[in-house]
Amino acid sequence: MTKRSKNSVFGVALTAALMMMGAAQASDFYVQSKWAETDSTPYESCGEYCPSIDYQLIHTGHMWLDSVINKDVLAIIDVLDEHDSDSAIAKQTKAFYNKPLVTDRELARELNRITNNLVGAVNTARAEDSIYSYSVMATPSMIGMHKGLALMRIDGNVYTGGAHDLPNSYYYVFDLTNKKLLTLDDIIIAGQQDALEQMLYAKFYEYLIAMEVEPSEIMNSWDFAVTENFMFDETGVEFLYQPYEITPYVFGMPSLHLSYAELKGILKSQYLK
């Protein structure tokens, strides 16, 4: 996971960093951070107790792709959701996350809401003489290209009090030609899902042995399933699990890997190395 920035950003501007791909990989595809201005001024009300809000949005020139990444960045830091209520704001938020394309103005509006919610929670806790801390982070980055596919990730971290923070990492495989975020069903040969699950289950067993844990202690207590969080690399496909998904928190984010040789007959031929 990427390191958290030392700077806390409150919706005024995003870090003006440029993430460029090598021309040898994709001369017509780039990833650039962009500005997002809001009217949030949290330091006026929470001062030194303000929550740490560290995020970055992207611009690639592909609005459909930008919308996927930027909405997910906001979803990670949107820890005080109102999505289950019937309020007008909650309905507006649901509509935002369900839209395939979102504008800069809509992103700024949602950033403003998220920031105000976090600051409001801190101020409420302080009024009740509670020591309350919020820290949220979500940073997208470019991994590379694989057979014309754009590979990206978002690294996040959330702390809302309690014993520890909650890190997370999400992978994205974009088909630029067909303007689509690929799922497992898109890359796996029809009818081979069960075979994939069996192979990953065996890898999970090996992973637990390598961690010097009796596999039955975990496998009998935690449900295993194939994750949609996958990524192509030079040697095969990585399947990355979030904390608490298939193991206790202490295991972090388990990573299971299948080589292209192992995936022959399971992975569609156009995605094999």
User: Which tokens sit at 53?
Assistant: 């809000």
**If you average pLDDT over each of 12-16, 44-48, 103-107, which comes out highest?**
103-107
- Which of the pair, 86 or 247, is modelled with greater confidence? 247
Strands 135-146 and 52-55, sheet pairing: parallel
66 pLDDT higher than 50? yes
Angstrom distance (rounded) from CA 173 to CA 229: 10
What is the model's pTM? 0.88
Residues 200-207, mean pLDDT to the nearest whole number:
98
Q: What is the mean pLDDT of the chain?
A: 87
Sign of CA dihedral 58, 62, 66, 67: positive
Residues 6+ apart with CB under 8 A from 74: 55, 107, 110, 111, 114, 138
**Unique residue bearing structure tokens 């979500």:** 138
Name the residue with tokens 């014309």.
Answer: 148
Q: For residues 273 and 260, what is the distance between their CA atoms, to the nearest angstrom?
A: 6
Domains of the chain: residue spans and CATH? 32-181 (3.30.565), 184-271 (3.90.640.20)
The pLDDT assigned to 84 comes to 62
